[in-house]
Structure 1
Amino acid sequence: MNPDDRISKLYLNKLGFSENLRPNLDHLKLIFSRHIEHLPFGNLNSFLGDKVSIDVNDIAQKLLVEGREGYCLEQNLLTSLVLNELGYNACNLLARVYYQQNPLEAPIRTHLVTVVKFQNDQLFLFDPGFGGMTPAQVLSLNLVGETQLTPLEPYRIIPVKESGIVAEALIGMQYMVQAFVRNEWINIYALNPEQSVAQSDIMIANWFISTSPDSLFTQDLIFSIVDEDNRLNFRNGKLMVYGKNGNSKQQFTTVEEIRDCLKTKFKLNVDGMNFHKLMVKLEKLGLQKA
């Protein structure tokens, strides 16, 4: 068994697949739905100052064997390998993030996505790794300007010149991914399907995300997971649930509450997590003990 085949088998087993999968759009959507339900987004390592490896064998061990979380580079390096092993034509691209910001200069390309190409030149965005606003289904890159429904929020992909972001902040970008939230379209991230990415680009992006004091992922503890009915987001002790039947918020203040939340809500193996170090840093951010 070659290493890639071993990782693919681990991945499919983690997602609960027993049936044979064919490299078509229906099965791609099914894989995506199960991925975002079973492999949570998160950044515990970078938050605690620990190394984040982007070696795909290390990623598979962490996410598929140890039952841990991962952020965009980990999630999408894993999925691109598995999808290619399953017969898809998948590649990774680096995007610029504009969520909750309107920069005047181009932000660093730090968000890794996966793009799948079919024989009819149809391109689909397969991105389980954007955390709190991860699309709840794959998106077509050919339906530019059209609303695309997902089990949760609608999304669309538009030319970047229509995004409201100044041209100087969109260098090299072609399309903006937007989500419809609170009755308005908001910018999420921009990408260029023609802009290939080198391993060195990915290494630099990972170095910045996991080590820079300016990175959100070294400052805040974040987890997210999605199913057909709810989007669950955790940030620095607060759990926010956005669902079809309403929204809710809950603040956790003790290690027992946080441990239980990560285990039950985010399906994480918490046994090896350093909760003492985690709580010390959360308390420095203002978390109050009960």
Structure 2
Amino acid sequence: MEATNFSLRAYFERIGYRGPEATDRQTLTAIMRHQLRAVPFENLDVQAGKVVSLVPEDIVEKILDNGRGGYCYEVNGLFAMAVQALGVPYRMVGARPRTYASRRPKTHMALILTFEGERWLFDLGFGSHGIRAPLSLDRPDTDVVQDFDTYRLEKIGDDRYLLRTVVEGKWADQYEFDLSPQEWVDFVPANFLNSKHPDSIFVQHLVAVRQTDEGRIILLDNTFKIIARGQMESRSVAPHERDAVLLSEFGIIAPR
């Protein structure tokens, strides 16, 4: 994943990372965490009636130059650019969300990185219940606590996996995927569906999520939630207040 205007230095500046440019688990996890805390998951372009651009240079301009966030293809695509600049092998995979009542197509994108002889799931774009650090594909079926959240990557077949998360005290399916490598162009149909189909959650609802040290903050339409140490507080946000909340809590200016 490359863009002519991508700069690793500018990327590190955007996410506030000042550590080493190494390729070990500790460094890559730190970079992932910095991006999750600095770059929000958001669908404001979809809410503005746009089809999200998958042109790599547009993603760089949107997130690095204009201080925006994005949804899975954008934020994971940006992370893939950084990983490639660091020289870490990776593949893109298509994932099937399991958070809907009915079966859905593979509209989610995640990344599999290989380093230190092990394969790891990295995902910076699954919104409210996304992982907070990489999960090992080579040590599946194990409960993994990340800060105040618990995850489990279950192997459900040959090279097939299911990500589950504890939500309100119960295990909840998030998405399933296999290891068939995808090209960037393979996500164009799913991106159009997410941007325009009336059943898409991104068409139906405004969503912004940013991870914090103790949990995450979420804006869903007119409700602002703070989840910290497993406890949640929420308040209503009037429509005329949303832009101010997006700026103060997520650091983004809503497009017109």
Q: TM-score, normalised by structure 2?
A: 0.93
Deviation at 1:229, TM superposition (A): 0.5
Distance 1:15 1:34 in 2: 6
- Could you say which residue in structure 1 is the equivalent of 2:108? 111
- Could you say which residue in structure 2 is the equivalent of 1:191? 177
**Structure 2 residue 124 is matched with structure 1 residue 128:** yes
Aligned length: 255
What percent of counterpart residues are identical?
Answer: 23
Distance 1:132 1:6 in 2: 27
With over 3 angstroms needed to count, the CA separation of the structure-2 counterparts of 1:3 and 1:108, relative to structure 1, is closer
- Could you say which residue in structure 1 is the equivalent of 2:92? 92
With over 3 angstroms needed to count, the CA separation of the structure-2 counterparts of 1:213 and 1:245, relative to structure 1, is closer
Gaps of 5+ in 2: none
The letter for the 1-side match of 2:164 is Q
Deviation at 1:254, TM superposition (A): 3.9
Task: Give yes or no for contact 1:137–1:151 (8 Å, CA) kept in 2.
Answer: no
- Could you say which residue in structure 1 is the equivalent of 2:247? 263
Q: 1:153 aligns with which of 149, 154, 159?
A: 149
Task: Give yes or no for contact 1:173–1:190 (8 Å, CA) kept in 2.
Answer: no
Deviation at 1:11, TM superposition (A): 1.1
SS at match of 1:248: strand
SS at match of 2:171: strand
SS at match of 1:159: strand
Deviation at 1:266, TM superposition (A): 1.0
- Could you say which residue in structure 2 is the equivalent of 1:177? 163
With over 3 angstroms needed to count, the CA separation of the structure-2 counterparts of 1:48 and 1:142, relative to structure 1, is same
SS at match of 2:107: strand
Q: Give 1 or 2: higher strand fraction.
A: 2
- Could you say which residue in structure 2 is the equivalent of 1:59? 59
With over 3 angstroms needed to count, the CA separation of the structure-2 counterparts of 1:77 and 1:116, relative to structure 1, is same
Task: Give yes or no for contact 1:152–1:228 (8 Å, CA) kept in 2.
Answer: no
1:73-124 CA-to-partner distances (Å, cap 9, x unmatched) read 111111112101112112211100002x343xx421110111111151x111
Deviation at 1:184, TM superposition (A): 1.6
1:118-165 CA-to-partner distances (Å, cap 9, x unmatched) read 151x1111101001111111111122110111113110111337xxxx
1:215-251 CA-to-partner distances (Å, cap 9, x unmatched) read 1111110000001212111111111111117310011
Distance 2:230 2:93 in 1: 35
Gaps of 5+ in 1: 162-171, 275-290
Q: 2:233 aligns with which of 240, 245, 248?
A: 248
- Could you say which residue in structure 1 is the equivalent of 2:217? 232
Task: Give yes or no for contact 1:147–1:156 (8 Å, CA) kept in 2.
Answer: yes
Deviation at 1:185, TM superposition (A): 1.1
Task: Give yes or no for contact 2:46–2:195 (8 Å, CA) kept in 1.
Answer: yes
With over 3 angstroms needed to count, the CA separation of the structure-2 counterparts of 1:3 and 1:59, relative to structure 1, is closer
1:184-239 CA-to-partner distances (Å, cap 9, x unmatched) read 2110000112x111333211111111111121111110000001212111111111
Alignment root-mean-square deviation, CA: 1.9
SS at match of 1:18: coil
Deviation at 1:5, TM superposition (A): 7.6
Deviation at 1:68, TM superposition (A): 1.1
Rg larger in structure: 1
